[in-house]
């Protein structure tokens, strides 16, 4: 049963990759709130860090996504990432609102060039 759940998640990521244009962005955002009964075990039992790594692993399961970037917005206003401010940061700030929970986004792009193994 659990392997079927993971297989479906990987299929969803593969399908999103398929329909994205080259250079298209896929953002998975979340906080640490959840419906306990509806979450998969590794999400329920994991830490914030392990949840981020789980989403990164989903991106890595599809050949052709760029290396995933992780953005963290703490309730105190600190932000993860660094460097220049990407276009999507304003959107992520809107989505995170004024919640007291940390907000995470894992971001990857569909590569412009084919990736060969």
* Chain position carrying tokens 């009964």: 37
Residue bearing the bigger pLDDT, 101 or 64 = 64
Q: Give per-residue pLDDT as tens, 46-82.
A: 888 988 999 999 999 999 999 999 998 876 654 444 5
Confidence of residue 36 (pLDDT cuts 50, 70, 90): confident
Q: Give per-residue pLDDT as tens, 3-13.
A: 666 788 899 99
* Phi then psi dihedrals of residue 82, to 5 deg: 120, 175
Distance separating alpha carbons of residues 89 and 86, to the nearest angstrom: 6
pTM score, whole prediction: 0.71
* Chain position carrying tokens 């309730």: 75
């Amino acid at each position: 049963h659990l392997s079927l759940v993971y297989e479906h998640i990987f299929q969803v990521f593969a399908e999103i990759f398929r329909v994205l244009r080259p250079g298209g962005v896929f953002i998975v955002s979340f906080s640490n709130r959840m419906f306990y009964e509806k979450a998969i075990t590794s999400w329920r039992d994991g830490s914030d860090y392990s949840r981020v790594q789980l989403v990164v692993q989903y991106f890595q399961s599809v050949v052709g996504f760029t290396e995933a970037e992780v953005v963290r917005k703490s309730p105190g206003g600190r932000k993860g990432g660094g460097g220049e401010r990407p276009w999507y940061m304003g959107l992520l700030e809107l989505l995170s609102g004024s919640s007291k929970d940390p907000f995470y986004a894992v971001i990857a792009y569909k590569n412009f060039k084919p990736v060969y193994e």
